[in-house]
Amino acid sequence: MIKFYDKERILRLLTYKGILLRFKSMGFIRVFSDNIAEALDISSSLVRKDFGIFGISGNQKGGYHIDNILGNINGILGTNELQKVILIGVGRIGQALLHYKGFENDGISIVAGFDTDPIVINEKAEVPVFPIDKLKEFVKKHKIRIAVMAVPELMAMPTFEVLVEAGIKGILNFTPTKIKNSHGVIINHMNIEHELANLIYFVNQDLLHEQAVIPKSVINSL
């Protein structure tokens, strides 16, 4: 039976993976739920509950074996096998994504880029960049299911239609255009401008809060 987990729990699973890799790099072989909880500032009971739901087992005295947890997590996420991904739009964001090596830690490999600009097309590069008209053939040949879309906003919908026609099943959308999940395609939106604006708002709120707090020296002088 295939199990589906909610988005919030999957995001926590990714966070668990990150902290476990850090523990492993520090020489740890086993960890306890308390270690994970303290590092992530959450309750140990939540860690144990999540692990129980994900079928990750440990014991009270010996804790959890890090490699076993990571193996389970990779199995759940589908990253125990190399996941081939293509990139559409090799502009500034696209170039950064194309050459980012951190994806390898999660079993993800951007195997090709696609663009309409002849200047960026280079089919002999380490990660080749092809003209967009070769996308459908490449997807079929290499059995690609996932694409990252980093095209200009005006090209978002035409690019989406090309990806759907090519048989892509999941898209990470870096354009500001909101595209509804349709045609059996799952879409995650990553709006950098909105994320930065959101971050700036909360930083400013913290600053306002700090400025509103009366210093102890002022209180003591009253």
pLDDT at 49 over 50: yes
What mean pLDDT do residues 148-160 have? Answer: 94
Closest CA to 97 of 143, 130, 108: 108
pTM of the predicted model over 0.75: no
What mean pLDDT do residues 122-129 have? Answer: 94
Of the listed ranges 40-44, 134-138, 216-220, the least confidently predicted one is 216-220
Write down all domains in the chain, each with its CATH number in brackets: 7-77 (1.10.10.10), 83-194 (3.40.50.720)
Regarding beta strands 170-173 and 146-149, do their DSSP bridges make them parallel or antiparallel, or are they unpaired?
Answer: parallel
pLDDT in tens, 169-193: 999 999 988 888 878 898 988 877 7
pLDDT in tens, 55-98: 888 877 788 999 999 988 888 887 667 789 999 999 998 999 99
Q: Write down the mean pLDDT value for the chain.
A: 85
SS3 for the chain, per residue? Answer: CCCCCCHHHHHHHHHHHHHHHHHHHCCCCEECHHHHHHHHCCCHHHHHHHHHHCCCCCECCCEEEHHHHHHHHHHHHCCCCCEEEEEECCCHHHHHHHCCHHHHHHCEEEEEEEECCCCCCECCCCCCEEEHHHHHHHHHHHCCCEEEECCCHHHHHHHHHHHHHHCCCEEEECCCCCCCCCCCCEEEECCHHHHHHHHHHHHHHHHHHHHHCCCHHHHHHC
pLDDT in tens, 104-120: 777 789 999 999 999 99
Report pLDDT for 198: 72
How deeply is 90 buried, as exposed, middle or buried, from its count of CB atoms within 10 A (0-12, 13-18, 19+)? buried
Greater model confidence, 75 or 1: 75
Residues 6+ apart with CB under 8 A from 149: 88, 89, 156, 159, 160, 163, 171, 172, 173, 174, 175
Q: Give me the residues paired with residue 85 across strands.
A: 110, 146
Tokens of 215: 């210093």
